Structure 1
Amino acid sequence: MTGTTRRQSVLAHLLLLATVAVWGGTFGVVKGALRDASPLLFNQLRMILAFVALAILHAREWPRMGRDAIKAGVVAGFFLAAGYELQTAGLVYTTPDRSAFLTGLVVVLVPLCSVVPRLHAPGASKPRATALLGATGAFAGIVLLTTPAGMPLREFTRGVNRGDVLSLLCAVAFAGHLLSLAHLARRIPTAQLATLQIGFAAVFMSIATPAIEHTYLHWTTSLVFALVVCALLATAAAFSIQSWAQQHLQASHTALLLALEPAFALLTALLFFGERLTLRSASGAALIFCSLVASELLSGAVSEQPEGNLILEGQSEER
């Protein structure tokens, strides 16, 4: 791995870690905003505002957007919108704990899907056993974080309902989003991919929301604050960073980093919302972190590519 490539990889890790921290930190903000707006409508408004911001910021990119960029935006935007809508719709029928538990399966689905040749991004190294072990450990940590204390896992997973199915499909959609970016980010400029995926996600949400949800909206200061924070930081900036970072990270590594989101959500709840830390939740957060670090360290073997370029094993030039 060259010095430039190594620096880009480190920067990608740090920026994506900061993005995951923002996502985890906005849980409380969104929860408060949903008193004034229905969930799917909030997502729709958030995407529209984020798209407007990116469209203005990247105004010079519009004349350069070709057919390939538009197709990429449609694909990534579809999976992104589907993930958000399925997660929110699932919460109507199941508990937040079960939703987080099932959505967390994305950390396992991505490395498993990456083994399939047609789903594997061209030019990226295939996930090794260390990535699969890290994903398994991270999911075990998510289980500890999301299952109620004192409740056996068998009892927690009993009685699958409609919300559980929707939450599972949400995990599939978010896995599709990660894998689609792994294929697209090397071919489409970051500014174009970020803008178009958010724009098409807003379109898909605008179509789905009236058909799925009885919307309500009460404009308040707290709602406006939540929309601005979630649209500009947790959507426009966050997905721009993710689109760039996956040029330098393998999809399975990205999924591992995203597994830290519930840990950051827990940290935010502890610091600002008075939630108590239990042994189970602390163990879950620690297990996620240790699995991530172990996977990164163990996958750090250097391999030589056919053209003589040295890269870090497990890293790629995609997304």
Structure 2
Amino acid sequence: MKKYSGEIGLFAIAIIWGSGFIGTKLALDGGLSTIQTITLRFFIASIMLGIIFYKKIKENISKESLIAGALLGIFSFVGFTTQTLGLVYTTVSKNAFITAVNVVIVPFIGFILYKKKLDKIGVMSSFMALVGIAVLSLEADFSINFGDFLTFLCAISFAFHIFLTGEFSKKYNSYVLTVTQFVVAFLLSLIMQIARGETNFNTTSVGFMGALYLGIFSTAIGFLLQTICQSKVDQTRTAIILSTEAVFGTIMSVIIFHEVLTVRMVVGCIIIFASIIVAETKLSFLKKKCVEKSTKNVIESQIE
């Protein structure tokens, strides 16, 4: 069990993020704008983790870890902002699918920036996950618009965030990285909020409850777990496992909002989970069979 603690933690994050639509719906229905929701979620997460882990942060803080955390904060902000703005111009299903393209981008970032050898099985698994999300999310309309472009920028940002989290989490303290990125993302969100003239919070208690849910669970707990788990799991497998967010989001929408469970949803979920099995096993069971068959053929030929 300990051997797979990183993977188990990432599945937990996917479940948390899959439930994030509940908090978002509450926040928006309660009167908060999208940028106000983003600002509040990062503010709540910054304060919460900053207070709880103040001592550990103080003991492990360094100039390098602050720069690394700030870089993660920039990619978080760009990812969430372009995803949210993209929804203004495109459909929810296309937004979800294009965001998930990050699962394919991640392995190529390592290849381009760090000259890391591409894991063929990992890349194949990434494309499998993307196909599964396409089956799960996409409708008949495949036209491209401005919202799709913004969402693609979101996918790139999240891909860099996943990749760099994997790199930095092995070098720097998880608490410093996480809180620093939250503070930077909060400040950038606040600047955008002020620039858009959305300084008045005309919302209900339901709206703040939604923001609180996003701040505590989807942001503070989710991102902290991600940083810790990525020190144990490589970036490609991380991206594939986190892609199950779409699966858990679908399951919860069926349970909570009584959406009809279709064959397409089931097929999409099966393909995504199959991609994880391929990524984790590296098709070792097939290789084992091939070796056994080859050995058997050699023995039989020698007997003849």
User: TM-score interval w.r.t. the shorter chain?
Assistant: 0.7 to 0.9
SS of 1:186's equivalent in the other structure is coil
**Contact 1:127/1:252, CA 8 A, preserved across alignment:** no
Q: How does 1:1-319 map to 2 (within 5 A)?
A: 7=2, 9-35=3-29, 36-64=31-59, 65-118=61-114, 120=116, 126-148=117-139, 151=140, 156-158=141-143, 160-212=144-196, 214=198, 217-298=201-282
**Contact 1:182/1:247, CA 8 A, preserved across alignment:** yes
Q: TM-score, normalised by structure 1?
A: 0.84
For 1:21 and 1:10, the matched residues in 2 are separated by 17
For 1:21 and 1:194, the matched residues in 2 are separated by 19
User: What is the CA deviation profile of residues 176-207 of structure 1, one whole-angstrom value per residue up to 9, with x for unaligned ones?
Assistant: 10111122111111111111111111111112
SS of 1:92's equivalent in the other structure is helix
The code of the aligned residue for 2:100 comes to: G
User: What is the CA deviation profile of residues 8-59 of structure 1, one whole-angstrom value per residue up to 9, with x for unaligned ones?
Assistant: x411111110111011012133123212100111011110010000110111
**Contact 1:142/1:288, CA 8 A, preserved across alignment:** yes
**CA 1:187/1:31 → structure 2, altered by over 3 Å: closer, same or farther?**
same
For 1:237 and 1:179, the matched residues in 2 are separated by 19
5+ residue gaps, structure 1, are 1-5, 121-125, 302-319
The code of the aligned residue for 2:27 comes to: A
Aligned-residue identity in percent: 27
**Contact 1:111/1:251, CA 8 A, preserved across alignment:** yes
SS of 1:116's equivalent in the other structure is helix
- Highest CA radius of gyration, 1 or 2? 2
Give RMSD over aligned pairs.
1.8
For 2:150 and 2:197, the matched residues in 1 are separated by 15
**Contact 1:107/1:252, CA 8 A, preserved across alignment:** yes
Shift of 1:209: 2.8
How many residue pairs get aligned? The number is: 283
Shift of 1:216: 6.0
**CA 1:213/1:181 → structure 2, altered by over 3 Å: closer, same or farther?**
farther
User: What is the CA deviation profile of residues 239-267 of structure 1, one whole-angstrom value per residue up to 9, with x for unaligned ones?
Assistant: 11111111111100110011101110000
Shift of 1:127: 4.2
**CA 1:213/1:87 → structure 2, altered by over 3 Å: closer, same or farther?**
farther
- Which residue number corresponds to residue 299 of structure 2? none
Shift of 1:100: 0.9
**Contact 1:47/1:199, CA 8 A, preserved across alignment:** yes
Shift of 1:213: 7.1
5+ residue gaps, structure 2, are 286-304
